[in-house]
Amino acid sequence: MTNNLLRVRDLCIDAPASKGPIRIAQGIDFDLHRGEVLALIGESGAGKSTIGIATLGAGRGGAYIAQGSILLEGEDIMAKGAARLRSIRGLRVAYVAQSAASAFNPAHRLIDQVTETIISRGIMDRPAARSRAIELFRKLGLPSPETFGEKFPHQASGGQLQRAMTAMAICAGPELIVFDEPTTALDVTTQIEVLLSIRQAIRDEGMAAIYISHDLALVAQIADQIMVLRHGQIVETGPTRDIIERPQQDYTRRLIAVQSVALPTRSSQPVMLEISGINASYGRVPVLHNINLSVAKGRTLALVGESGSGKSTLGKVVAGLLPPDSGRVTLVDRPLSSSLSGRSRQDLRDIQLVHQNPDLALNPRRSVGDSIGQAVTMFRGLTNKDCSREVAHLLEQVNLDPALATRLPHALSGGQKQRVCIARALAANPRLIICDEVTSALDPLVAEGVQNLLRQLQEDEGVSYLFITHDFGAVRAMADEVAVMRQGSVIAYGPTGQVLNAPQDPYTQKLISSVPELRVGWLDDIVAARTAPQNARTEKMT
């Protein structure tokens, strides 16, 4: 059995277009050995996900392999036909998608979906498959692993769904897994646990992995090799340490340089949004406890905390999507109705929400132009040519080509879809935008551009942001104030510099210490630091 599991040569991928096929990836060559991780990095639309999915013998958004070979243990998987490809997918090769929420069937319990492949293919019977799933739930840090699988997808947080999908991919013990932004929806402490689990699974089971990401700090902890992509071509490739510490190309240097950000400092402003005594629940389960926060005009309040801490739930309360049990939300001294149906058209225009998951936020049957144009017509009353011009202007504002207005969402990258959602929110000229992980799907350069855009809007229009995120780099770049949430309560609240540079409580200290550093070996140092006290206690007891 050869150690070289995957060999890709001269891979070229085309996408259909009205004037003939467009080449979206060209001349891709690499080898991947058992137990190794190859990271694909680059800006949105660089071809990362398209190339990763192609190694599974699949196309994305109508894309197809125009030429080249993909050899899995010497077998050209593209030469065996559709039946052979179906027989290896889910067993020998597996995929962890960027958007776990759209990958699960909302009508079925998680345990049934995680175990479906290994049961239907006859690998395990139902009791054994269930035990295997529970074991993976525990390894991936999911709450109450014995009963977690009984939940339906809507009952789990975005981070929990991402880990459940990782368990589903690992369940059958495949030889190759393509991880497409697997930690995008995870908070910083959970990222460490998931990364450790993924890395350990690769080592223990001799798997190989293609790890698609825009987060270089995370890539540095798990990848053996890095391939930098731009416009569907290889910019440079090499061992992780060489790429991180000695990049040869200007584009790679720029990706690394944007990791450094500075805290914004600005004068005080009157209050735009006030959240007073908010308590909320899902059914009979309390999820928010006496939340008191405010956001000034033209300022940003960041909500941080682990998955399930209540960040997105608070955003839903402010947006009117979840009526609170008690408390009040006020916008510029105007009390808002607790329910969406009770809010005026002006209320709806003033507060816009950019969802964490663009796949769920965009209608898959509507073109980009139709989705944005609907908001332009609703809130500004523009139609026909005026509407089309405004749609083009909004796309340019978020650094997208106006020509994308004719495309359907499935033909866009994850980062492009998120920017479409931002453009649609901007169409209302809102006073407050609730940004729920708006940069989580974006590569560093594009994320920096979106952050610059959001800051410019603040300067020009005085718009305020409730910025929900687990990305502390984005917090430092965007936020004037930070509220740290845990189990539905605010445990730290104040100016960004004060909260991040001098955390007072152990939980906030743990969150900040879990932010990955852009250096090879950081994760190993963190693990060593955390196990040292345990070893010391063990030695003392013996």
Q: What is the reported pLDDT for 519?
A: 84
What is the dihedral sign for C-alpha 86, 90, 96, 102?
Answer: positive
Q: How confident is the model at residue 324 (pLDDT cuts 50, 70, 90)?
A: very high
Q: What is the reported pLDDT for 22?
A: 86
Q: What is the reported pLDDT for 443?
A: 73
**Are residues 330 and 457 located together in one domain of the fold?**
yes
463 and 269 Cβ atoms separated by less than 8 Å: no
Residue 509 maps to a domain: no
Task: In whole angstroms, give the CA distance from residue 487 to residue 444.
Answer: 30
On the question of pLDDT at 533 being above 80, the answer is no
Query: If you write DSSP's letter for every residue of 321-372 in order, what string do you get?
Result: SS--SEEEEEETTEEPPSSGGGS-HHHHHHEEEE-S-HHHHS-TTS-HHHHH
Residue 110 structure tokens:
């998680």
37 and 58 Cβ atoms separated by less than 8 Å: no
Task: In whole angstroms, give the CA distance from residue 161 to residue 158.
Answer: 5
Beta strand ranges found along 44-156 (DSSP E) = 64-72, 75-76, 93-96
How, if at all, do strands 37-41 and 225-230 pair? Answer: parallel
Q: How confident is the model at residue 498 (pLDDT cuts 50, 70, 90)?
A: confident
Domain final residue pick, 196, 225, 257:
257
Contacts for 389 with CB less than 8 Å, ≥ 6 apart:
none
Residue 498 maps to a domain: yes
**Are residues 22 and 136 located together in one domain of the fold?**
yes
For residue 133, the tally of other CB atoms under 10 A from its CB is: 26
Tell me the pLDDT tens digit for each residue of 94-107. Answer: 998 877 777 899 99
Count of structural domains within the chain: 2
40 and 243 Cβ atoms separated by less than 8 Å: no
**Are residues 310 and 384 located together in one domain of the fold?**
yes
Tell me the pLDDT tens digit for each residue of 385-411. Answer: 999 999 999 999 888 999 999 999 988
**Are residues 100 and 207 located together in one domain of the fold?**
yes
467 and 451 Cβ atoms separated by less than 8 Å: no
On the question of pLDDT at 381 being above 70, the answer is yes
Tell me the pLDDT tens digit for each residue of 120-171. Answer: 988 899 999 999 999 988 887 788 999 999 999 988 876 788 888 888 998 8
- Give percent of the chain with pLDDT exceeding 90: 43
Helix (H) / strand (E) element for 251: namely: helix 250-257
Q: Per-residue pLDDT averaged across 79-93, rounded?
A: 79
**Are residues 422 and 323 located together in one domain of the fold?**
yes
Q: What is the reported pLDDT for 1?
A: 42
**Are residues 33 and 84 located together in one domain of the fold?**
yes
Tell me the pLDDT tens digit for each residue of 472-491. Answer: 888 988 899 999 999 999 99
503 and 494 Cβ atoms separated by less than 8 Å: no
- Give percent of the chain with pLDDT exceeding 70: 94
Tell me the pLDDT tens digit for each residue of 451-460. Answer: 888 888 788 7
For residue 241, the tally of other CB atoms under 10 A from its CB is: 14
Q: How confident is the model at residue 275 (pLDDT cuts 50, 70, 90)?
A: very high
**What single letter denotes the amino acid at residue 239?**
P
Which long-range CB contacts under 8 A does 74-81 form with residues at least 24 apart?
Answer: 74/2, 74/7
Residue 264 maps to a domain: no
Q: How confident is the model at residue 375 (pLDDT cuts 50, 70, 90)?
A: very high
Q: Which residue has the tokens 């597996």?
A: 94
Task: In whole angstroms, give the CA distance from residue 428 to residue 368.
Answer: 16
Threshold 0.75, pTM exceeds: no
418 and 454 Cβ atoms separated by less than 8 Å: no
* Full domain range(s) for residue 438: 271-502
Strand partners, 179: 96, 211
Residue 251 maps to a domain: yes
Q: What is the reported pLDDT for 64?
A: 87
Task: In whole angstroms, give the CA distance from residue 533 to residue 319.
Answer: 44
Task: In whole angstroms, give the CA distance from residue 456 to residue 299.
Answer: 12
227 and 237 Cβ atoms separated by less than 8 Å: yes
Residue 211 maps to a domain: yes
Q: How confident is the model at residue 450 (pLDDT cuts 50, 70, 90)?
A: confident
Q: How confident is the model at residue 184 (pLDDT cuts 50, 70, 90)?
A: low
**Are residues 154 and 283 located together in one domain of the fold?**
no
On the question of pLDDT at 227 being above 70, the answer is yes
Helix (H) / strand (E) element for 374: namely: helix 368-380
Comparing 268 with 128, the larger pLDDT belongs to 128
On the question of pLDDT at 269 being above 70, the answer is yes
Beta strand ranges found along 240-284 (DSSP E) = 271-282
Tell me the pLDDT tens digit for each residue of 281-304. Answer: 998 999 999 999 999 999 999 999
Q: What is the reported pLDDT for 482?
A: 95
Strand partners, 276: 328
Q: Which residue has the tokens 């929900």?
A: 468
Burial class (CB in 10 A: 0-12, 13-18, 19+), 246: exposed
Mean pLDDT for all residues in the chain: 86
**Are residues 243 and 314 located together in one domain of the fold?**
no
**Are residues 252 and 285 located together in one domain of the fold?**
no
On the question of pLDDT at 469 being above 80, the answer is yes
Domain final residue pick, 257, 282, 297:
257
Domain final residue pick, 257, 291, 324:
257
Task: In whole angstroms, give the CA distance from residue 398 to residue 420.
Answer: 8
**Are residues 360 and 220 located together in one domain of the fold?**
no
Q: How confident is the model at residue 537 (pLDDT cuts 50, 70, 90)?
A: low
Q: How confident is the model at residue 501 (pLDDT cuts 50, 70, 90)?
A: confident
For the domain that residue 391 is a member of, what is the CATH number? Answer: 3.40.50.300
Residue 519 maps to a domain: no
Task: In whole angstroms, give the CA distance from residue 163 to residue 194.
Answer: 7
Residue 542 maps to a domain: no
Tell which residue, 505, 425, 506, has the closest CA to residue 465. 425
Residue 394 structure tokens:
């909004």
On the question of pLDDT at 90 being above 50, the answer is yes
Q: What is the reported pLDDT for 44?
A: 76
Comparing 492 with 100, the larger pLDDT belongs to 492
How, if at all, do strands 432-436 and 351-354 pair? Answer: parallel
**Are residues 158 and 296 located together in one domain of the fold?**
no
Q: What is the reported pLDDT for 391?
A: 95
Tell which residue, 18, 97, 19, 23, has the closest CA to residue 65. 23
Q: What is the reported pLDDT for 267?
A: 56
Angle between helices 368-380 and 414-426 (to 10 degrees): 10
Residue 221 maps to a domain: yes
Tell me the pLDDT tens digit for each residue of 209-218. Answer: 999 988 888 8
Q: What is the reported pLDDT for 477?
A: 86
Q: How confident is the model at residue 347 (pLDDT cuts 50, 70, 90)?
A: very high
Task: In whole angstroms, give the CA distance from residue 398 to residue 414.
Answer: 14
What is the dihedral sign for C-alpha 230, 235, 238, 241?
Answer: negative
**Are residues 385 and 474 located together in one domain of the fold?**
yes
Tell me the pLDDT tens digit for each residue of 9-49. Answer: 999 999 887 788 888 889 999 999 988 999 999 887 788 98
How, if at all, do strands 271-282 and 326-331 pair? Answer: antiparallel
Tell which residue, 239, 453, 425, 265, has the closest CA to residue 348. 425
Tell which residue, 281, 308, 298, has the closest CA to residue 468. 308
Tell which residue, 328, 291, 336, 325, has the closest CA to residue 309. 291
